Structure 1
Amino acid sequence: MHSTGKLTADSYEEFLERFSVEVPENFNFAYDFLDAEAATDPTRPAMVHVDDDGNRRDLDLAFFSSESSRMAQGLAKRGIGPGDRVLVMLYRRVEWWITVLALHKLGAVAAPGPHLLTTKDIEFRVDYAGIKAIVCEDGLAEKVDAARANCPSLTLLVGAGEGALPEGWTRFDDIIADGEENYIHTGPDGRRPGGADPLYIFFTSGTTGMPKMVTHPHTYPLGHLTTGMYWHDLKPGDLHLTLSDTGWAKSVWGKFYGQWLSGACIFTWDFRGKFTPDSLLGILAEHRITTFCAPPTVYRFLVREDLSLYDLSALRHCTTAGELLNTSVFESWKQSTGLNIYEGYGQTETCLQTATFPFMEPKPGSIGKPCPGWDLVLLDESGNPCPTGVEGEICIRLSEGRNLGLFTGYLDEPEKTATVMYDGYYHTGDKAWADEDGYFWFMGRNDDLIKSSGYRIGPFEVETALVSHPAVVEAAVTAVPDPVRGQAVKATLVLAQGYEPSDELTREIQDHVKKVTAPYKYPRVIDYVDELPKTISGKIKRAEIREKDESGN
Structure 2
Amino acid sequence: MFLKQKFSSYEEFRSGFNLEIPENFNFAFDVMDKLAKEKQDEIAMIHVDDAKVRREYSYAYFARESSKLANALAKQGLKKGDRVMIVLYRRVEFWTTMLALHKLGAVAVPSPALLTAKDISFRVNFAKIKAVVVDESITARIDEIKSECPSLDIFIVAGNAPNSTWKELDEIVAKESENFSPSSKVGGNDTLLIFFSSGTTGLPKMVEHDHNYPLGHLVTGMYWHDLEPGDIHLTVADTGWGKAVWGKFYGQWMSGAIVFVYDFRGKFSPSDLLGVISEHKISTFCAPPTVYRFLVREDLTKYDLSSLRHCTTAGELLNESVFEAWKSALGIPLYEGYGQTETTLQIATFPFMKPKPGSIGKPTPGWDIVLLNDEGEEVLPGEEGEICVRLKDGRPVGLFLGYMDEPDKTAKVIKDGVYHTGDKAWMDEDGYFWFLGRVDDLIKSSGYRIGPFEVESALITHPAVVEAAVTGVPDPVRGQAVKATIVLASGYEPSEELTKDIQNHVKKVTAPYKYPRIVEYVKELPKTISGKIKRAEIRAKDMEKYK
Q: Shared fold (TM-score greater than 0.5)?
A: yes
1:547 corresponds, among 540, 543, 546, to 540
- Please point out which of 93, 99, 102 is paired with 1:101: 99
Conservation of the 8 A alpha-carbon contact between 2:161 and 2:168: no
After TM superposition, the structure 1 = structure 2 runs for residues 191-210 of structure 1, keeping only pairs within 5 Å, are 192-210=185-203
Structure-2 change in CA distance of 1:317 and 1:546 (3 Å): same
Aligned-partner residue type, residue 173 of structure 2: I
- Using the alignment, how far apart are the partners of 1:63 and 1:81 within structure 2? 23
**Residue identity opposite 1:18 in structure 2:** G
SS in 2 for 1:335: helix
Amino acid corresponding to residue 354 of structure 2 in structure 1: E
Question: Take 1:353 and 1:316, find their aligned partners in 2: how far apart are those partners?
Answer: 23
Q: Give matches, 1:319-398, under 5 Å.
A: 319-398=312-391
Secondary structure of 1:149's counterpart equals: helix
Matches within 5 A, 1:236-315: 236-315=229-308
1:458-505 C-alpha deviation (Å, 9 max, x unpaired): 001111111122222222111111121111111112223333322222
Partner secondary structure for residue 217 of structure 2: helix
Q: Secondary structure of the residue that 1:552 maps to in structure 2?
A: helix
Deviations 1:125-161 (A, max 9, x none): 1111111100011111010111110111111011111
Residue 317, structure 1, aligned to residue 324, structure 2: no
The 8 Å contact of residues 491 and 523 in structure 1, kept in 2 or not, is answered as yes
Structure 1 residue aligned with 2:90: 92
* Cα deviation digits, residues 424-454 of structure 1 (max 9, x gap): 0011111111110111111111110000011
Partner of 2:431: 438
Q: State the 1:62 CA deviation.
A: 0.4
User: How far apart, in 2, do the equivalents of 1:420 and 1:46 lie?
Assistant: 38
**CA contact 2:161–2:167 (8 Å) conserved in 1:** no
Which residue identity is paired with 2:287?
A
Of stretches 139-148 and 492-501 in structure 1, the one that deviates more from structure 2 is: 492-501
Partner of 2:507: 514
| Of 533-542 and 67-76, the range deviating more from structure 2 | 533-542
1:8-27 matches, within 5 Å, as: 8-27=6-25
User: How many percent of aligned residue pairs carry the same amino acid?
Assistant: 66
For residue 165 of structure 2, what is the aligned residue in structure 1?
A: 168
- Alpha-carbon distance in 1 for matches of 2:516, 2:455: 8
SS in 1 for 2:109: strand
Encode CA deviations 1:204-246: one digit per residue, 9 max, x unaligned.
1111111010000000000000100111111111111111010
Please state whether the residue corresponding to 2:487 is helix, strand or coil: strand
Aligned-partner residue type, residue 251 of structure 2: G
2:39 counterpart residue number: 41
Q: Quick check: 2:391–2:418 contact (8 Å CA) kept in 1?
A: yes
1:464 maps to what in 2?
457
Question: Shift in Å at residue 549 of structure 1?
Answer: 2.0
The corresponding residue for 1:81 is: 79
Cα deviation 1:396-438 (Å, max 9, x = unaligned): 0114554100000111111111111111001111111111011
Residue ranges of structure 2 left out of the alignment (5+ in a row): none
1:115 to 107, 113, 116: 113
Question: What is the CA deviation profile of residues 93-120 of structure 1, one whole-angstrom value per residue up to 9, with x for unaligned ones?
Answer: 0000000000000010000111111111
Asked if the contact 1:494–1:532 (Cα under 8 Å) also holds between the matched residues in 2, the reply is: yes
* 8 A contact 1:420–1:427 mirrored in 2: yes
Alignment partners' CA distance in 1, 2:392 and 2:72: 40
Provide the secondary structure at the position in 1 that maps to 2:60: helix
**Of 182, 186, 189, the match for 2:183:** 186
Aligned to 1:153: 151
| Secondary structure at 2:148 match in 1 | coil
> Any conservation in 2 of the 1:10–1:359 contact (CA below 8 Å)?
yes
Asked if the contact 1:45/1:60 (under 8 Å) is kept, the reply is yes
Could you tell me which runs of 5 or more consecutive residues in structure 1 were left unpaired when the two chains were aligned: none
CA distance in 2, matches of 1:383, 1:484: 29
Identify if the C-alpha distance between structure 1 residues 399 and 182 changes in structure 2 by more than 3 Å, giving closer, same or farther: farther
SS at match of 1:537: coil
Equivalent residue letter for 2:28 = A
Query: What letter is aligned with 2:498?
Result: L
Alpha-carbon distance between aligned partners in 2 of 1:286 and 1:236, rounded to the nearest angstrom: 20
Q: Secondary structure at the match of 1:52?
A: coil
- CA deviations 1:347-385 (Å, max 9, x no partner) are 000001000111111111111111000000111111111
User: Residue 177 in 1 paired to residue 174 in 2?
Assistant: yes
Q: Does 1:525 align with 2:518?
A: yes
**The residue matched to 2:240 in structure 1 has which SS?**
coil
C-alpha contact 1:463 1:477 (8 A) present in aligned 2: yes
Pick which of 469-478 and 214-223 moved more: 469-478
Q: Using the TM superposition, give the Cα deviation of residue 178 of structure 1 relative to its aligned residue in structure 2, in angstroms.
A: 4.2
Q: Which residue of 1 aligns with 2:404?
A: 411
Distance in 1 between residues matched to 2:61 and 2:190, nearest whole Å = 26
Report if aligned partners of 1:141, 1:166 keep a CA contact under 8 Å in 2. no
Whole-Å separation in 2 of the counterparts to 1:494 and 1:104? 43
2:466–2:489 Cα contact (<8 Å) kept: yes
**Whole-angstrom distance in 1 between the partners of 2:70 and 2:10:** 42
Moved more, 399-408 or 255-264: 399-408
Return the match for 1:133 from 128, 131, 134.
131
Output the amino acid matched with 1:495. L
2:115 maps to amino acid: L
Aligned AA for 2:26? N
What CA RMSD, in Å, does the superposition of the two structures yield over aligned residues?
1.2
2:434 is aligned with what amino acid? Answer: W
1:478 aligns with 2:471: yes
Question: Counterpart of 2:162 in structure 1: which amino acid?
Answer: L
Alpha-carbon separation, structure 2, partners of 1:215 and 1:403: 15
Instruction: Number of aligned residue pairs: give it.
Output: 546
Residues 223-242 of structure 1: matches in 2 within 5 Å?
A: 223-242=216-235
Give the TM-score of the pair, scaled to structure 2.
Answer: 0.98
Matched, 1:534 2:506: no
Q: Distance in 2 between matches of 1:529 and 1:62?
A: 51
Deviations 1:498-532, CA, capped at 9 Å, x for gaps: 33322222111111111111110001111222322
State the TM-score, normalized to the length of structure 1.
Answer: 0.97
Distance 1:362 1:400 in 2: 29
* In 2, Cα distance between equivalents of 1:488 and 1:390: 22
Give distance in 2, aligned partners of 1:474 and 1:329: 15
Match among 442, 461, 469 for residue 449 of structure 1? 442
